[in-house]
Amino acid sequence: MCSVRSATTETGRVEDRYEYDAFGSPYKGDLSGGMNLGYTGKPYDTATGFYNYGFRDYNPTAARFTTVDPVRDGNNWFAYVNNDPVNYIDLWGLTASDNISNRLSMQEAFGTDYGPCVFRTLLALAETREGRDLTMDEITRARQEFYGNNTSWEVSGNLGGWEGAINKGLEILGSNESAKYLGSVMSTDDIPEGTQATMLRLPPDAWGNMHRGEGDASGNLMWDPLGYDTFTGNEIIQIDAFEFVPN
């Protein structure tokens, strides 16, 4: 979550790709020189092999911080996210955070099971990118500023469409990046190079509703805006790919 996956030129050409193990040790890509942001978006020191998490440094090889937790969170004050980096993230070297499970579902955010799954999913891409969930007030603001007086949940006709919805979330979260749409594919094998986030689409149900959810860069489900998993066991018929570029 929030990890840098690729670096591009001003024209959008991918210069390098980055991969990490579960605890953040880089095994692909060069994080030296100008591009030193890596796992969870933190600065990486190639001399020490440590990440700077703000309040303390983190050694991904040992899966431990180098100093004691300032807030004494949990039972082990050196371990990274209680040794569970699949489900948790630590943004500042202080405490483990389960951002996705605490995220407001579309029922909680909008009071409806139908219509806003695309918009809620696109906001989720911004939340994951920034490592922080939007509050109810922020989601309400995003809806008002994106849709204006339009009472429809249709995204494509408003403020830059899919990119615009993600960018509205990024703007509210204080990001210095913008989303760029890379295209739609039907198979994970065809996901474009440079993809950093995806939106997944299920086939229409008996009422013609086509549900969407948040996927990672490889097209794997990360979060269902219904708040529970409706994707497992169902065929994903479309994958919409996005990358993030500096403003």
Per-residue pLDDT of 172-203, as tens digits, reads 999 999 999 999 999 999 999 999 999 999 99
The β-bridge partners of 177 are 246
Which residue has 């029922």 as its token pair?
107
Listed residues 51, 83, 115: the one ending a domain: 83
Q: Which of 83, 114, 140 is the last residue of a domain?
A: 83
Torsion of CA 189, 234, 198, 133, to 10 degrees: -150
Please give the residue range of the domain that contains residue 232. Answer: 106-246
Domain final residue pick, 83, 98, 121: 83
Q: What tokens appear for 3 in the block? A: 């990890």
Task: Tell me, yes or no, whether 100 lies in a domain.
Answer: no
Residues 70 and 192 in one domain: no
Do 49 and 111 fall within a single domain?
no
pLDDT of residue 49: 93
Residues 67 and 122 in one domain: no
Residue 228 CB coordination number (10 Å): 6
- 175 and 140 together in one domain: yes
**pLDDT (average), residues 96-105:** 70
The pLDDT assigned to 245 comes to 93
Q: What is the DSSP letter of 112?
A: -
β-bridge mates for residue 7, sequence order: 16
Number of domains in the chain: 2
State both tokens at 245. Answer: 């570029």
Whether 133 and 211 map to the same domain: the answer is yes
In angstroms, rounded to a whole number, what is the distance separating the alpha carbons of residues 75 and 145? 43
d(CA 219, CA 139): 25
Q: Which helix (H) or strand (E) holds 232?
A: none
Q: Is pLDDT larger for residue 211 or for residue 131?
A: 211
Sign of CA dihedral 123, 89, 195, 236: negative
Query: Residue 59: left (phi > 0), alpha (psi -120 to 50), or beta?
Result: beta
